[in-house]
Structure 1
Amino acid sequence: MTTKHCTVDGWVDVPPAPGPRGTATFDLVVRPDDPDTVAKDAPDTIVSCTSETARITHELLNGIQPSDLVRVTGTLVQPPSPGEPARLTVDALEVLDTALVPILRDMVMDRYGDYCVIFNADSDAVPVFTALGQWVGLADNPDAIATLIDIHERVNGGDA
């Protein structure tokens, strides 16, 4: 297996996700050095990235969002077969440009202590999650949120 220490610029494709043992993973859409030399219908080059460094993992999970332009440095492992993404273990991360802040037009997210709710103008039902992203349930209407949270805390011993 061929490895190479390199630096790559690209856009974060989807929100970085926590991995096992304190790692974070994300896909990077690699920016070509000279975009004019790449055919318009050429597929994007995707590099699967992982970081084990606590500082970088924290930044990935708390500060990076899709479409951020980043520069990553680390050890690149070529894919075992064509068509699979290369894998990069990230040792350094630099944010070159941030994506625009997403605007929720018809939806609003709000916090209820250790819980998050999403209000949608098109529906009375309100999805409820813990702040860590665990599904709690669907409140029939905004007035039922407190009851749903109370039931969840009773069933789970008060742990959100």
Structure 2
Amino acid sequence: MDTTHLAVDGYLDTVPTPGGSPGTTRFQLIVSPTDNAANDVVWACATSDPRIAQALLTEAQPGDLLRVTGFLTQPDDTAPVHLNVDSLEVLAAAPMGALHSMVLDRYGPYRCVLDADTATVPVFTEHGAWVGEAQTPDAISDLIDAYEKSSPH
């Protein structure tokens, strides 16, 4: 497996979602190496740091210019390359219209992202820990209840 540590500036393309393993949050960056849209590349990113997940939910929105650092990893020649993010900085905020169809909502100490383009709702704790994905907005409370019953307090 090849790994390379680097810093990348790019625009947040997606709202964070759960990763393949518990506690992992995934998102995508649009990286423009030449400032020409024809050369844009979408980078798959993941982090297991709850502080970064919280920052993505509370400080960043799609369209924001971010600087992320981490390890660029390709497990083997057939697997896609992804960036395991270990730090994040918001360099510039997106124009106000970027979140026209998304809303960050609170349920006590929980945060969820409601997106008009999809019925599923990602849910996190206020500290960025992954709770799960509700299949509909009506199922958010049930998801939170199940999380509280399964989590040690």
TM-score past 0.5 threshold: yes
Offset, 1:48 = 0.6
C-alpha distance after superposition, 1:18-62 (max 9, x if no partner): 334222110111131x43xx6x644x2121101111211111133
DSSP-derived class of the 1:29 partner: strand
For 1:8, the equivalent position in structure 2 comes to 8
The 5 A counterparts of 1:92-107 are: 92-102=87-97
C-alpha distance after superposition, 1:78-109 (max 9, x if no partner): 47458x7520000110100111223888x8x7
Unpaired runs of 5+ in structure 2? 124-132, 147-153
User: For this pair of structures, how many residues does the alignment match?
Assistant: 127
For 1:57, the equivalent position in structure 2 comes to 53
**Alignment partners' CA distance in 2, 1:13 and 1:103:** 10
For 1:48, the equivalent position in structure 2 comes to 44
DSSP-derived class of the 1:48 partner: strand
Identify if the C-alpha distance between structure 1 residues 63 and 81 changes in structure 2 by more than 3 Å, giving closer, same or farther: same
**Contact 2:62–2:99 (Cα < 8 Å) also in 1:** no
**Contact 1:46–1:85 (Cα < 8 Å) also in 2:** no
Unpaired runs of 5+ in structure 1? 119-127, 138-152
**Alignment partners' CA distance in 1, 2:122 and 2:73:** 35
Larger Rg: 1
**Alignment partners' CA distance in 2, 1:14 and 1:131:** 12
Using structure 2 for the length normalisation, give the TM-score: 0.60
C-alpha distance after superposition, 1:102-144 (max 9, x if no partner): 3888x8x7x8x78x9x9xxxxxxxxx9999574256xxxxxxx
**Alignment partners' CA distance in 1, 2:52 and 2:99:** 28
Using CA pairs below 8 Å that are at least 6 residues apart, which structure has the higher relative contact order? 2
